Structure 1
Amino acid sequence: MRDRPLIDVAPHRPTLCAPPATTIRDACARMRDEQVSAIVVTDAEGRLLGIFTGRDAICRVVAEGRDPAATTLAEVMTAKVATLGPRDRAIDALHLMHDGGFRHVPVVEDGRVRRLVLRSDFRALERAQIEVEEEIFERLR
């Protein structure tokens, strides 16, 4: 897991993107329909402008009493987004997410979003690593 490039580690699934003028209601409906926990906010050329997560919907919209039909992604998204490149390693993503206290990291190449990596993408890899280590320990006994 530590030596493989990030782009090869996480499962390949579509990354949900939307323009900043998208309402929170529409963004949340798309997130629900696609069964994802975040939407990447991009301009028309696919350049990263921000990210909006389910946690943002609760903390920045619902808890503040904002109208989801009138509030746009631009108003409540996280604009300063930590990113990684496609050649960064999985361990780099894990460290970044742990240190930053978040669960989503966009992978950006040439200024454009290639994909979104989630903390949960690494569960299968972690399980596989644990199984390898357990096998090694069994042999040492």
Structure 2
Amino acid sequence: MLRCVVPDVVSNQDLLTLPVSATVKEAAARMSERRVRSVLVVEDERLVGIFTGTDLIERVVALGRNAGLTALSEVMSTDPTTVRPDQQAIEALRIMQAGGFRHLPVVERGKLVGMLSRRDFLKEEEAELELEERLWEEM
């Protein structure tokens, strides 16, 4: 994974995005349907925020806000840290660890092109270990 670039980890993604005007209720329903823990918030095809399960708990439920009346723009994390597709995957992982992020959007020339998650790195590492194990068995 040290040589792996971000596109090698993020491939063929169907990103969950919603506009800033979408409600928390809409976001939670879509997140549940897709079995994901975050939604990328966009405006004019530009990433403007991210809304996560943690945001739902801390900024909506814990404060007693009405999920059907609360817009994502009111509770999303704005200006999320991002990486470029040409960055090394290990660099992206370090950014995630340093910031305590579970998700890291991938942006190229201002346009959202992907999303990294901790799970992506675990899958990539598992695949590399399986390959290495097969090579050793063949020797």
TM norm structure 2 = 0.89
The aligned residue for residue 97 of structure 1 is 96
Distance 2:11 2:122 in 1: 11
Amino acid of the structure 2 residue aligned with 1:72: A
Unaligned runs of 5+ in 1: none
Matches within 5 A, 1:35-114: 35-44=35-44, 46-114=45-113
| SS of residue matched to 2:68 | coil
Amino acid of the structure 2 residue aligned with 1:65: G
The aligned residue for residue 117 of structure 1 is 116
Distance 1:11 1:109 in 2: 15
The aligned residue for residue 6 of structure 2 is 6
Decide whether the 8 Å contact of 1:83 with 1:106 is kept in 2: yes
Amino acid of the structure 2 residue aligned with 1:27: A
Distance 2:93 2:12 in 1: 17
Aligned length in residues: 136
The aligned residue for residue 22 of structure 2 is 22
The CA RMSD measured in Å over matched residues stands at 1.8
Following TM superposition, the consecutive aligned residue runs of length 4 or more in structure 1 with deviations greater than 6 angstroms are: none
Unaligned runs of 5+ in 2: none
Identical pairs, percent: 41
Offset of 1:130 from its aligned partner?
A: 4.5
